[in-house]
Structure 1
């Protein structure tokens, strides 16, 4: 796949008055949206169970005057709010799922769960969903005030953490008429998100054999657990012969029982397979499938596979990225103050130098152990990091030109998916970073509505980057979203 940069059209920036109007709306609505984010933080729900969170967000959509459609793509906790008419359609994507086992009291700089073993917003999605909705609300008000054609949509996207809900939403066609998609993610730094993620599939491999007495009649047994172990050995040997950018992880989810004197008739291993791009992922999955078949052959067992979820890799768009970068440079970094810095220092003191250094190295920045919070905008063109994960925004980016921004909301060095990140989720710095990201998303959307030539050029670049590669959704058609059926 050939990814080429393109030079954006020479169109003027939005006038100062437009920026003031958009950004003033964000400032003026600080109270209700910060309160909404905090309520979501206090209601941490894991993927496909975000019923209370979805209700809070839907109520805010209705309060802001959006036309709300709930349960889109057949997912009870997914929704869409739309405002405006005619013109281009610009989507702003929101997430609101939490993570299991990360319950943590706010502002406490030591492990202190609210509920032992409970959930927590360890990736800042309480901020993510709220800022996206606030940005959409600002664009809605701006379109209405100026009587401009165009529709802004806020998409409520549940289950990003391992649930790949956006992939199901893409498969259902909910983005089919969207011209541009905009998103963001909390981070330690502010800047345009580089199109650097891994395509992935999460797959269960279930082996079936034959039980027997492990001592009296071992020759009659066919061990499914042996098959799982042999598969893991085979995949581990394959690591030497796969691209260095690929990643494979596994967990044995069913060992077949706890009795060593019984030959295990059933066992399951779950694999998360990642590759730089979708075509490479498809090839790597086939190789893992072949190893599973070999393990079954060696143990005289059978196996079945079940795809649970999947994400495509992110497709970049330099037209949109350069445009968003210009807005970041106009606005500047988040307005953190001394109190925010002193707060962040408390959490940096719970980290090692390796964690802080790693945060800088990811963006090829000089390490500064004395800096607690971001006070700059990341450069647009920076070396890609090898330390990347996967996101279901990638699947959206294959069907819609997509751009994202990082919003600085927590102390530099804070690991993702950590109790430290949860603890900082209601802090004044988190609110400032959230609103900063909302301003960038909203003003970028307004810019695109004002300059449809930019939309056309972004779409042309999107087609060029795909370069004729057929999009194959990493979630097969026969896989259903794993939401609790009693709520459907």
Structure 2
């Protein structure tokens, strides 16, 4: 039996329990740093399966690591389980219907992401024991990927020290090796403080913090013409100063996300945004306090690991969906625009197909499309550990990320099939590294070459700690 055949069988041996785990996490969507129920589910699984468990990684109570095996190289499998706000959705239907009004939902598929990652780690654990191969596998349960940068804090705390390679995946519309492109990203809060007054009787005595926020937003919008075309800046009002228009707002807060292709560009844009905030405060005679909430680096690829993962994908083939999967996916596509569907093909550089609503192929390794780039804290791991990521089909082609449609498909049979498929790809890639020491050597050489001129610097200032949230009272 080939190593790949053996590891794939070991994945299948645990399939039912991890499909059930994914569904349980879907039922308890928790946003950044509040994943207490989710981490308890993952910790319980790790303990029950015989992993050596370390909790409270980097001082984060919703982060966990389980290790198995002895000696040899250390393979990390990265998982996530945080949800998104405002995306509550009933599963299994192709219409927008909330479970809880205004509630949370797994709009990025992290219920699947963490479950497949632990499934892969479990199969590798079983393989190490069955073959007597020296080596250790670690499952990292990582919270707060959505804007919380937990992995960045974990890297800064040394939680990945000693790891030889890191492997992860993400639910997607297409099955492919990830392009390893992401934007460096800082999230900053700007708290403006002014002076309240009666807006009719004595408006001249007031100094409006809300005016300052609005002027800052205008100023940043004028910046957009004069920054790199692939940079991104977004903002959200956190506090508009109250609901009474006849009171000059003494306090207001806005959060900014600043993205750039690399850390150098991001830091430069950060300073420009800060200057705009200072200008807004000067114009309104208010004061401003700027606080970094989180930050992530841009992602580094690793050519040897990407080739190894592609080989595993090609040997395994595409996800095998059935007619029922395709029928539900077709219903989901009816809720999407033509542009939504086309964009997924543009992203991978392939001609559009209308004969299937699900990806029944593996995107060629050399396919080049139009990059549509977001940000991820996996990037910070990629600067200190050779890292590779798979994208595996779990939902209808064209489904926008962070949408109710993703949540609706999160417990579907198609999602389960993609999840298990991802576990097999990750596990086979890990076994290749454990049986071919030259792969790890080449992966290390690759990351050394990529970081030689620009060594890693954590983008989060040393005085900033994770924005931990209290454990809910039950």
Kept in 1, the 8 Å contact 2:78–2:140? The answer is yes
Contact 2:34 2:471 in 1 (8 A): no
Question: Equivalences for 1:126-137 in 2 at 5 Å?
Answer: 126-137=111-122
Coordinate RMSD, CA, aligned: 1.5
Q: Does 1:479 align with 2:460?
A: no
Please say if 1:42 is aligned against 2:23: no
SS at match of 2:2: helix
State the partner residue of 2:213.
228
C-alpha displacement of 1:370: 3.0
Secondary structure, counterpart of 2:321 in structure 1: coil
Deviations 1:437-456 (A, max 9, x none): 00010010010011111111
Greater Cα shift, 187-196 or 355-364: 355-364
- Structure 2 partner of 1:348: 333
Q: Is residue 460 from structure 1 mapped to residue 445 from structure 2 by the alignment? A: yes
Residue number in structure 1 paired with 2:357: 372
1:339, distance to aligned residue in structure 2 (A): 2.2
SS of structure 1 residue aligned to 2:97 = coil
Deviates more, 1:272-281 or 1:353-362: 353-362
1:20 Cα deviation (Å)?
1.1
Provide closer, same or farther for how the CA distance between residues 306 and 411 of structure 1 changes in structure 2, counting only shifts above 3 A: same
Q: Report what 1:88 is aligned to.
A: 73
SS of equivalent residue, structure 1 residue 84: strand
Quote the Cα distance in structure 2 between the aligned partners of 1:403 and 1:486.
33
- Displacement of 1:151: 0.8
1:292 lines up with 2:277 in the alignment = yes
- 1:52-91 correspondence to structure 2 within 5 Å: 52-91=37-76
Partner Cα distance (2:454, 2:448) in 1: 10
User: Is 1:75–1:481's contact at 8 Å kept on the other side of the alignment?
Assistant: yes
Offset at 1:384? 5.3
Mapped contact 1:132–1:183 kept (Cα < 8 A) = yes
Deviation at 1:412, TM superposition (A): 0.8
Contact 2:81–2:110, Cα closer than 8 Å, also in 1: yes
1:163-312 to structure 2, matched below 5 A, reads: 163-312=148-297
1:72 is displaced (CA, Å) by 1.1
2:407 equivalent to 1:419: no
Is 2:315 the counterpart of 1:333?
A: no
Between the two proteins, the alignment pairs up a number of residues equal to: 473
The 8 Å contact of residues 105 and 113 in structure 1, kept in 2 or not, is answered as: yes
Alpha-carbon separation, structure 2, partners of 1:62 and 1:425: 26
User: 1:103 matched to which residue of 2?
Assistant: 88
Secondary structure of the structure 1 residue equivalent to 2:98: coil
- CA–CA separation in structure 2 for the residues paired with 1:268 and 1:56: 36
Q: Return 189-198 or 48-57, whichever deviates more.
A: 48-57
Q: Is the 8 A contact 2:124 2:427 kept in 1?
A: yes
Once the two structures are TM-superposed, the CA of residue 87 in structure 1 deviates from its matched residue by 1.1
Match for 2:139 among 150, 154, 158?
154
Helix, strand or coil at the partner of 1:201: strand
Does the residue aligned with 1:413 lie in a helix, a strand or coil? coil
Distance of 1:212 and 1:429 partners within structure 2 = 58
> Shift of residue 252 of structure 1?
2.0
TM-score of the aligned structures, taking structure 1 as reference length: 0.94
Structure 1: gaps of 5 or more residues: 1-15
CA shift, 1:458, in A, is 0.8
Measure, in 1, the Cα distance between the counterparts of 2:472 and 2:463. 21
Alpha-carbon deviation of 1:487?
Answer: 6.5
What are the superposed Cα offsets for residues 72-116 of structure 1, whole Å, 9 maximum, x if unpaired?
A: 111111000000111111100000111122122221111122222
Q: Does the Cα contact within 8 Å between 2:346 and 2:369 map onto a contact in 1?
A: no
* Residue 342 of structure 2, aligned match among 349, 357, 374: 357
* Aligned position for 2:123: 138
Alignment partner of 1:27 out of 1, 12, 18: 12
Deviates more, 1:297-306 or 1:235-244: 297-306
Tell me how far apart the structure 2 counterparts of residues 55 and 269 of structure 1 sit (CA, whole Å). 33
| Distance (Å, rounded) in 2 between the aligned partners of 1:80 and 1:298 | 50
What is the alpha-carbon distance in structure 1 between the residues aligned to residue 110 and residue 246 of structure 2?
A: 47
Report whether the alignment pairs 1:18 with 2:12. Answer: no
Matched, 1:409 2:360: no
- Contact 2:215–2:280 (8 Å) recurs in 1: yes
- In structure 2, how many angstroms separate the alpha carbons of the residues matched to 1:400 and 1:337? 38
- For 2:206 and 2:369, the matched residues in 1 are separated by 50
Q: Distance in 2 between matches of 1:393 and 1:254?
A: 30
1:304-337 per-residue CA deviation (whole Å, 9 max, x = no partner) reads 1011111111101111111110110111001112
TM-score, normalisation: structure 2: 0.97
Q: Which residue of 2 is the match for residue 438 of structure 1?
A: 423
| Residue equivalent to 1:4 | none
Q: Quote the residue 2:103 is aligned against.
A: 118
Q: From the superposition, tell whether residues 105 and 181 of structure 1 become closer, same or farther in structure 2 (CA, over 3 Å).
A: same
1:132-184 CA distances to partner (integer Å, 9 max, x unpaired)? 00100111111111111111000000111111111111111100111111000
